[in-house]
Amino acid sequence: MTGYLGSYATLGLLLLASVLVFVGAFGANRLLRPARPADPPGKRATYECGLDPVGEDWAQMQIRYYVYAYLYVIFAVEAVFLFPWAVVFDRPGFGVATVVEMAIFVAVLALGILYAWRKNILRWTGS
């Protein structure tokens, strides 16, 4: 299909095909499933590593786990930026400006870790 409206016709056919696949999949599920699905005792109970669940169904998570995960992500992103920089660093045209840019990038991250260290965010408590 060519022309201005041809691309819209292609999109319409694609959407129609996707709706037909969706309806067909759910229709096949309805036709092929058992009439009365089995519901044995305990099927809807909470599963916790093969053991019976103990305690309440709501537990409070400590914020320090999120802080450590966030710090890991920050330094993983730093590593992702450092490796390509190290690969192109020795090419012609990448001189002092490249070193200054990376020094600024690392300095900002170092200031962030220094701030976290000074605020005792990185101290692991036993409780």
Predicted structure pTM score = 0.41
Please list the residues that pair with 48 across neighbouring strands: 51
Helix axes 96-118, 63-88, angle to 10 degrees: 170
Residues 6+ apart with CB under 8 A from 7: 1
Structure confidence at residue 94 (pLDDT): 76
Per-residue pLDDT 10s for the chain (127 aa) are: 667 777 788 889 999 999 999 999 999 999 998 877 777 776 776 665 666 666 666 767 777 778 778 878 877 887 888 887 777 777 787 777 888 888 898 898 888 888 888 888 777 665 5
Q: Which residues in 85-118 are b (16+ Cβ under 10 Å) and which e?
A: eeeeeeeeeeeeeeeeeeeeeeeeeeeeeeebee
